[in-house]
Amino acid sequence: MENTNTNHQGSLSKIISGILVIINIIVGIWAYPQLPEQVPSHWNFAGQVDGYSGPFAGAFLLPLIILGVYIIFWIIPRIDPKRANYLKMGRVFWIVSTTLVVFLSLMYWGTIAVAIGYFETLPRWYFSGIGIIFILLGNYFGKIKFNYTFGIRTPWTLANEEVWAKTHRFAGPIWIVGGILMALTGLLPAAWTVPLFVIVMCLIAVVPMAYSYLVYRKLNF
């Protein structure tokens, strides 16, 4: 029964990702004739646009990237030397991949909305959405099995399966805390954005990396 439920949830995640890929392409086709010559493509910490692309890239670059991500997630379990571990992960692999597709889709929709004129700039609640995604990812980190292409890939996690397992179990709660802080960023004044963003990045990237090194040293020296 548990395997059946796991397969069902994995299939649902695949379907959701596929639907989002199609929706993004349709949005691109719809938006392209309406886009200006300069389409916002990058924002600074203050929420101001500091990079632009042309209308074709603005309409179709992110949908094509999302399509590529979707295809890659189908390929990875078939080519990774540790592909047997993807079966052990069950639904986790596709839930995480779908979360990434959702994140990229939200960024794309926000960009199109700003370019067409629905928003002046990305609303601050977008930061809250990113925070929720970090929380979701952190919830599943401890269930990511050892592999070479997916997860926290440091020299030390890739060198030792025990280091991999301990690092991912440690990083899960760290990502959840980082996600909560990121979610708060969307609710607090703009002056809080930079310090909270730096704190979150250190939490979710630097801390697990340092932890993996310390665990590796403890096991091997």
Give the pLDDT of residue 178.
92
Higher-pLDDT residue of 221 and 27 is 27
Q: Let me know: does 145 contact 91? Beta carbons within 8 Å.
A: no
Residues 15 and 42 occupy one common structural domain: yes
pLDDT in tens, 65-107: 999 999 999 999 889 998 899 888 878 888 888 988 998 998 8
Domain end marker among 85, 120, 155 = 120
User: What are the structure tokens assigned to 163, written together?
Assistant: 């280091």
Residues 3 and 21 occupy one common structural domain: yes
pTM for the predicted model, two decimal places: 0.78
The pLDDT-based confidence of 32 (bands split at 50, 70, 90) is very high
Residues 104 and 136 occupy one common structural domain: no
CA–CA gap between residue 160 and residue 155 (Å, rounded): 9
The b-or-e profile of 201-213 (16+ CB within 10 A means b, else e) is: eebbeebbbebbb
Tell me the CA end-to-end span of the chain in Å, nearest whole number.
44
Residues 165 and 214 occupy one common structural domain: yes
Q: Let me know: does 157 contact 212? Beta carbons within 8 Å.
A: yes
Give the pLDDT of residue 130.
82
User: What are the structure tokens assigned to 73, written together?
Assistant: 């997630």
Q: Kindly state the percentage of the chain with pLDDT values over 90.
A: 47
Residues 89 and 129 occupy one common structural domain: no
Domain end marker among 120, 135, 157 = 120
Residues 104 and 131 occupy one common structural domain: no
CA–CA gap between residue 72 and residue 112 (Å, rounded): 25
Residues 195 and 157 occupy one common structural domain: yes
Give the pLDDT of residue 46.
58
Largest Cα separation within the chain, whole Å, is 62
Residues 109 and 145 occupy one common structural domain: no
47 DSSP assignment: S
CA–CA gap between residue 145 and residue 132 (Å, rounded): 23
Residues 149 and 103 occupy one common structural domain: no
Higher-pLDDT residue of 168 and 12 is 168
The pLDDT-based confidence of 185 (bands split at 50, 70, 90) is confident
Give the pLDDT of residue 44.
66
Residues 209 and 108 occupy one common structural domain: no
SS3 assignment, position 48: coil
DSSP run (H or E) holding 186: none
pLDDT in tens, 163-173: 999 999 999 99
Can you spell out the DSSP letters for 113-149?
HHHHTS-SS--THHHHHHHHHHHHHHHHGGGPPP-SS
The pLDDT-based confidence of 48 (bands split at 50, 70, 90) is low
* pLDDT for 9 beyond 80: no
pLDDT in tens, 112-156: 988 898 877 777 777 788 888 889 889 999 899 999 988 899 999
Residues 164 and 101 occupy one common structural domain: no
Residues 31 and 130 occupy one common structural domain: no
Domain end marker among 97, 120, 143 = 120
Give the pLDDT of residue 47.
60
Number of domains in the chain: 2
Phi and psi of 81, rounded to 5°? -55, -25
Average pLDDT over residues 206-214: 95
- Residue 39 CA: distances (Å) to CA of 31, 33, 59, 111, 149: 11, 12, 9, 8, 33
User: What are the structure tokens assigned to 152, written together?
Assistant: 């926290």
Q: Domain range holding 62? A: 1-120
Give the pLDDT of residue 2.
44
